[in-house]
Amino acid sequence: MSTLELQPPPAPESNLRRGYLDYTWGQLHYRSMGCRSLPLLVLLHQTPSASEMYLPLMRLVAKRYHVVAIDTPGFGASDPMPGRVSVKGLGQELHKALLKKYACPYFLFGHHSGAAIATSMAAENPQWVTSLALSGPPLLTEAQRQALPHSAEEIPLEEDGGHLLKMWWRLRKKDHSAPLEISQRELQLAFTCGNYYRECYQAVADYDFASDLSRVTCPILLFAGKRDLLYGAVAASKKIARDAKTLHSEVDAATYVCETHAPFVASALREFFVAPDLQVERAPTNAVTEAVSVVNRVERESIS
């Protein structure tokens, strides 16, 4: 008989639910917390992460919102999109999937590449996105735009496992002070998503963030940790946006601010996402069907 002492599995989150949204190319995996009767808050992750990165934040805001964190196409447990991806295409697919499932206006928060997708969604769907919060707004300099896709070049598999170490240090460079558990998770996710790591970075580099940001009509919150590579984009983005504000206080954090400083981010979101008159009642089925049909028609026209 083995003397190995196995640790029991961790207790399940009492309010955590996992499921799938149907979308054009398969299914999108999501995690959710909070009562369905509360205002809907949608969270979009950075690359190459997944919705798991938002668990600490979700625990802190679930009493006020119905929080839904989605694995974007090609990441986590979500099915990928075929062909070359774009920020616009990702945003269209996510919005349609949300509309089919929840059929109500929603608050939207995105971090890094998730901030790019969130901005596109808010610009294209002003009647559905009530407020928009962006952590690390991707207003890239030309040097950042050129370097971004190359920073996610595929690392070929090596017999001695050297590829694991190369990816490890690529991810640790993002924040050497981050808990090792975060880097371990990101390492696994980076290999799981395959070439989608670079594809998503290329999509963000090609995306005209400034143009879409200037079109967003809902209130916007902009912030970033002081050690975030996109920290300098916060002030510049505020000048472009129609109705934007930044935080009065700052935090000494880098790219994993949503986990390493979850209470700080949660406090900012709770203060910003306030809509006492927001009607959380689901829209009639025919209204949702019509809205989805319009989105589909716009997509067909853009392709043709």
Residue 114 has pLDDT above 90, yes or no: yes
One-letter amino acid at 228 equals D
Confidence of residue 238 (pLDDT cuts 50, 70, 90): very high
Predicted local confidence at residue 261, as pLDDT: 97
The CATH number given to 17-140+208-298 is 3.40.50.1820
46 near 111, Cβ under 8 Å? Answer: yes
Q: Give residue 6's pLDDT.
A: 58
pLDDT of residue 181: 97
- Residue 125, pLDDT > 70, answer yes
What does the pLDDT read at residue 5?
57
CA distances from 80 to 25, 170, 210, 272, 282 (A): 7, 23, 27, 32, 29
Neighbouring residues of 69: CB distance < 8 A, sequence distance ≥ 6:
30, 31, 32, 42, 43, 44, 45, 51, 54, 58
pLDDT single digits (tens) 26-53: 999 999 999 999 999 999 999 999 999 9
Residue reference for tokens 């790219």: 255
Mean pLDDT score, 173-201: 97
Contact 198, 148 (CB under 8 A): no
The strand order across the sheet containing 220-223 reads 17-23, 26-33, 66-70, 40-44, 106-111, 129-135, 220-223, 244-246
Q: What pLDDT score does 99 carry?
A: 97
Mean pLDDT of 153-176: 96
Whether the bond between 48 and the residue before it is cis, its omega within 30 degrees of 0, is yes
The average confidence (pLDDT) of the chain is: 90
Spans of all domains in the chain: 17-140+208-298
pLDDT band at 302 (very low <50, low <70, confident <90, very high): very low
Rg from Cα positions in the chain: 19
pLDDT band at 77 (very low <50, low <70, confident <90, very high): very high
CA dihedral 29, 35, 41, 44 (to 10 degrees): -20
CA-angle at 215, arms to 106 and 255, nearest 5°: 65
Identity at 48, one-letter amino acid code: P
Q: Is the pLDDT of residue 93 over 50?
A: yes
**Region 52-80 average pLDDT:** 97
pLDDT given for residue 275 in this prediction? 67
pLDDT one-digit tens code per residue, 166-186: 999 999 999 999 999 999 999
